[in-house]
Structure 1
Amino acid sequence: MAPRIVVVEDEEALALILRYNLEAEGYSVETIARGDEAELRLKEEVPDVLILDWMLPGLSGVELCRRLRQRSETERLPIIMVTARGEEGERVRGLSVGADDYVVKPFSTPELLARVRAMLRRVKPEKIASHLTAGDIDLDRETHRVRRAGREVKLGPTEFKLLEFFMQAPGRVFSREQLLDGVWGRDIYVDERTVDVHVGRLRKAINRGRQRDPIRTVRGAGYSLDEQFAARAPVRDVAESS
């Protein structure tokens, strides 16, 4: 799925500009105006990159950054701090509390987008890679094609997104609610049973004959892409290689 970016910015006009440009780049974007609200939201779900304003109502960006670095779930969260404070001492302070990068207002939007891309390439390359591979399955994000053991697999749009979501985090177990948020999105209401239907369709499409099922059902928890399957070297289908 698209990399998820959270923007914590209380200037509404700037937040809208950042959201528009980030979404135009293909990112999933959430904007939050208060530091205390952002702290609560980040306890629920950790994004791929956090763009954090220095001065915020409720809780300052500097203090929020410091607290995030103290939590195991967010200690490695990529944070870009945005502020009007351009003095060297202030930049040092921002970096010392845990910010990974620092952008001074007014800034160039293309520059900020370039910094986001560079950070994703460094810490989460799977989020922007054009190809994902797990075992003998290859997924091409640019052409929306999937091949398994050399044969092309026909998938509908939702099954493609579901497989892509799984392949980004082999071994991680996703609940049905997490899959609904990640694949369908928070703004669309879909019954949790719909996840089971589409997982079934995905399995039917990618599994042929005695091929190993890469999707693991975890009773009472959800689904995951089997990490042992993902780690296997790809083997071409005999029918394809003959």
Structure 2
Amino acid sequence: MSPRKTTGGGAAPRRAYHHGDLRNALVEAATELVRAGGPEALVLREVARATGVSSTAAYRHFENHRDLLEEVKHHALGMMTARVRANLDAGTPCADRTDEALRRIRASGQGYVDFALAEPGLFRLIFRNGHRGEPSDAPNAPTGEIDMPPAVNDESYAVMSDALDELVATGALAPELRPFTDVALWAAVHGIATLLLDTSLAFLPQPARAGMIDRTFALAFKGLEGFRDAPEARSDSP
């Protein structure tokens, strides 16, 4: 059967590949399976079938399912990065440094949410937990201060973190309030994306969903503006 022919039963189309490029063809086929069926659809045997090669040939490039999963995660992160960059480039930069930092936070966050809603299968794969009992597939975080959680090494997070540093530099954000603010903003952005994918909010009309996204960003920005005057949250525990 020709590799270009589509298989029956709703299977992903077989993909022709050039000699020496089978690994990339397998990653592309795996990505399409995840896009259509979510992380659970990522089965190496099915990826081989969709690519038009034997499972034995596929195992020469990926030792096991986890190896392939990590490669597709990396590929999906690249796709999300492209979405964030496109959203950043589509806007008009602001002359004021503080306004520009806030614009970049909003644009990167919107790109993040847009990707999640457009590619739910890949988004879920990116943040899929590890085996039972493991917090994630990423390496354990080092002790002490960290600039970026190792599980979130992506463009949208980096843009948001850099923009917060710019707010500190312009005096719009107090330096002592900078730690973990990026995580708090990420929680808001990731949270609204997840709610709109995995809860009953997914069935709301598009205008209501868009309104929820706008309100989430509005509250996040209000929080940034009010940070300087807000009392620090303190714990009575040692």
TM-score, normalised with respect to structure 2:
0.29
Q: Which has the higher strand share?
A: 1
